[in-house]
Amino acid sequence: MCVCDETARDFVQLFFHVNVLKGVTMISLEKALEWKTVSVDVGRSVILQCDISGYPPTSIIWFKPPHLSLSNEPPHTRLNPDGTLSLVNVQPRHMANYSCRSPRNDEVIQTTSLIVMGLSVHSIYTR
């Protein structure tokens, strides 16, 4: 930026740099090290929580390894506005590790293992 006086002979130059922080994404160390396990009976519904937070508030992305993004997959999967993941009418094929993260930071991840109860030995081996 250059500011000139009336005679245009004397120039005063001002330089500045603005560093804008686009946001912070975090999870507590306790939650990051915790291995979360959620059990649910076949045919029931479950809500998986994501403890990742940010400022300004961040959206949450859920995925299953190998990093398959979970979108709203009717009728069984629903991404809720509060960052939780709802699984409705859980079936044996839903048993997996579910991970959540913020789109602002790929390195802050939380994983929850979903265990489906009430399975017969036959249904485990035919998944």
Q: pLDDT tens digits, residue range 69-116?
A: 766 555 788 889 999 999 999 999 899 999 998 888 888 889 999 999
96 within domain boundaries? yes
Give the amino acid at 54.
G
Q: Is the pLDDT of residue 15 over 50?
A: no
Which residues have CB under 8 Å from 57's CB, separation 6+? none
In contact, 89 and 45? CB cutoff 8 Å? yes
φ, ψ dihedrals at 115, nearest 5°:
-105, 125
67 within domain boundaries? yes
1 within domain boundaries? no
Whole-number pLDDT of residue 126: 52
**Residue 54's CATH number:** 2.60.40.10
Lowest mean pLDDT among 23-27, 50-54, 60-64: 23-27
Burial of 83 (0-12, 13-18, 19+ CB in 10 A): buried
What is this structure's pTM?
Answer: 0.70
Q: Count up the domains in the chain and report the number.
A: 1
Cross-strand bridge partners of residue 46: 87
Q: Is the pLDDT of residue 18 over 60?
A: no
32 within domain boundaries? yes
Whole-number pLDDT of residue 90: 93
Q: Report the C-alpha gap between 108 and 25 in whole angstroms.
A: 7
66 within domain boundaries? yes
Q: Is the pLDDT of residue 127 over 70?
A: no
99 within domain boundaries? yes
